[in-house]
Amino acid sequence: MLFKKIVTFFDKLEDKVRFHLSRWPIVYALIGGVGIVLFWKGVWETAEYSPYLHGPASIVLGTVIMLMTGLLVSFFIGDSIIMSGFKREKKLVEKTEEEIRAEGSKVDEVMIKLDQIERELETIEADHAHDHQSVK
């Protein structure tokens, strides 16, 4: 119960902080960078307390953890690079301005269609709720 309250608190706090910091991307990046460096500094210094986490043992344990969690490839390479390779897409720097704009318009079309589907689902849900209330 306490754990759930803590998670909920930080979830709401994160939403508020992200909302405010998103207006100042450079400040946001600097604060985030400091947080990341301090986190990894703490991990590094904590690992130094263990006589087993030096050199090759750290590499092996870190690799095993990243493989088990699925983070090895996505962190070091990134999903978008892998997917573009499967699709045989060009790298962003190799694309022409026209190709990039065409992809942008496709994304816009998909977003419009998703909005339409969302409105239709809301209508269906409202009709269903109305029908359900009239039966009672």
Neighbours of 63 (CB within 10 A): 11
Supply the pLDDT for residue 88. 66
Supply the pLDDT for residue 95. 65
Phi/psi of residue 103, each to 5°? Answer: -65, -40
Q: Would you state the structure tokens that stand for residue 133, as one six-digit string?
A: 């209330």
pTM listed for this prediction:
0.50
Q: How do residues 55-85 score in pLDDT, each as one tens digit?
A: 899 999 999 998 998 887 777 776 666 666 6
Compare 5 and 88 and report the one with higher pLDDT: 5
Distances (CA, A) of 75 to 61, 78, 124, 131: 16, 6, 41, 49
Supply the pLDDT for residue 120. 92
